[in-house]
Structure 1
Amino acid sequence: MTTGRPVRGATRNDESRRFNLPQTELDGDWLDMREGIDGIAPKLRTTVTVETPRTIISRNASPDVPFDRSINPYRGCEHGCIYCFARPSHAFHDLSPGLDFESRLFAKPSAATLLRAELGKPGYVAAPMALGTNTDPYQPIESDWRITRGIIEVLAETDHPLTITTKSDRVVRDLDLLAPMAAKRLAAVAMSITSLDPKIASTVEPRAPHPERRLAAVRKLADAGVPVYVSISPVIPAITDHEIETLIARAAEAGATRAFFIPVRLPHEVAPLFRAWLDEHFPDRAGKVMTTIASLRGGKDNDPNFFTRMKGQGPWADLLATRFRIACAKHGLNQERIALRSDLFRAPRGPQGELF
């Protein structure tokens, strides 16, 4: 019987979207903020130890990476990406590449001072400085420590070219520095977006910002004149590989001009951590994932050899490369190279120079 006065006014009970709660709950930054409020105790506290290195610029001569120098403001990374190839580096501190890597961090607050000294050495020749090659320079603790910003300030002052790789929209905080550098062809940013599915992203990269926030950052950077790459790295077979075409389409729509990808790499202690993660979160396809990775990596969990380590090998690698190339051509990505200038560099002023 439907006659009579209704018991309630609304006829539907849809989920509230005013504060975007469903997406917010899958956002890594929100996970950080919610701990400690409303009586929610943090499951694992992050500790930060001050590191006092003697130098800050790391050099490499690897033939398959496009830079020869980099700076890592932090050791360890709160983003907690299960595939992170930097995890084994925590062994140098007798710490675990697992939870220790994500929660027991090291910061280098003297980075800007050390950089200024190294750039001022006689004979220094400028070339693009890479940030974010090991751990993310815009992970959550950068909000307080601001070490990355201090580094960029020195590079901006000296007109030194810079590339940044990050999976955080915090990078737009420094647009006041990056946009003028980009106008001189001194800066480019690569935004890492592994998956657009928030549930997959929050599993693979639990403390990283939501994928849509990263795409919004791509748009803000592009609108400010900063050249933007989108890094679809790593591609994880049977978990994220189906998203290649959609990711490239969204990257182009957001204003990116170039994109690249790397199949998942599992060096040293990363492989057993990754296997345990698969068993926990994707038990239905763990075997398929590892079998495909072995196909990409010459029958092993990892291939450390130059060139093939970045591309993989065999039919799976060829298929991924073909799909990626076709998608980029369809959406107009990778048409032109982003060439940064090194000829504008001028050594930082020393103490005497400040007097004049």
Structure 2
Amino acid sequence: MKKSLSFSLLAATLSLALSSASAQDINTEKAKLTLDKVASGLEHPWGLAFLPDGRMLVTERPGRIRYINQDGSLSEPLTGLPAVEVAGQGGLLDVLLHPDFAQNQQIFISYNEPAAGGSSTAVARATLRDNTLTDVTVIFSAAPKFQSRHHFGGRLVITDDRHLFVTLGDRGQRRQDAQTFDNHHGKVVRLNLDGSVPADNPYVKDDKVLDDIWSYGHRNIQGAALHPVSKELWTHEHGPQGGDEINITRATRNYGWPTITYGEEYGGGKIGQTAKEGMEQPLHYWVPSIAPSGMTFYLDDAIPGWQNNLLVGSLRFGQLVRLELDGEKVSHEERIMIGQRIRDVRQGPDGAVYLLTDQADGQLLRLRAASN
């Protein structure tokens, strides 16, 4: 993978900063790895972004953004954030740099936005100036606002042609909304970077469908990444009790929830069927649930044998799941025990894999090839 000069310097800085950190060796099928603790003291961290100057931005679900410095220390929380409703699974979620961040210092954040009648997932664009967010503009707000503590989705992905994908959950009690078109529950939406609707969105000429909808029939998407070759959006979503899915998320496709699923009600009980004409089958699914969160394609050669593999975090089992692919099929799965709930998975500019752990005293961990 080619690296810019700034990110090459960042990689060197990260390696230097962590050289004396406590480490744990992990044997995997392809390589011996070392797990380092980069930072701790984070309260339920959710999203991570690498800055060109060697620092990282990390979100905490209770409504804070901090810098993680090169030595692993944490900054004070940034000021200037929009109002965030923290309840259940909702709060401050993902963070993503603008493609022109080096010039405009802009970031995108997703969060649970409060309003009269409830809350919903929203996306804001803001300018990062030292320890403050300025020019904060809400560019998307899911409709309707609803009283619920569950299923906010919230992953953000920017495509090479500068469109923004936002993943959304069904909000728990509103599962049937995932099959209707007058709301954002259980949908993926596609936007321009200013929040406007792209002219080539699939439903812009259909008066019965919200213009920003890309796909539907989702339950709760908390992992999203672009395929390195096809550039298509790949997502994973939580099933109920079983039935977590990986999908290639294509325009106008119906991914079936809650009509089809490989899961069942919590405590038992059938929800739907496993297949129906006109609804997409998952590329891969898990029974029992692994509770997936965070996902990335590994594109470096720093970890031998991992290039172009898909990496998925597991909240339930405290694992990193490595998937080998044969085209649009999963040909092999490896479970790597980390021992903590994994909320986010990112490839760093140094070729290591960075993991956020979902705990009251959450950590940022680094997984890299062992030196011996």
Question: Same fold, TM exceeding 0.5?
Answer: no
More helix by share: 1
After TM superposition, the score normalised by the length of structure 1 is: 0.26
More strand by share: 2
After TM superposition, the score normalised by the length of structure 2 is: 0.25
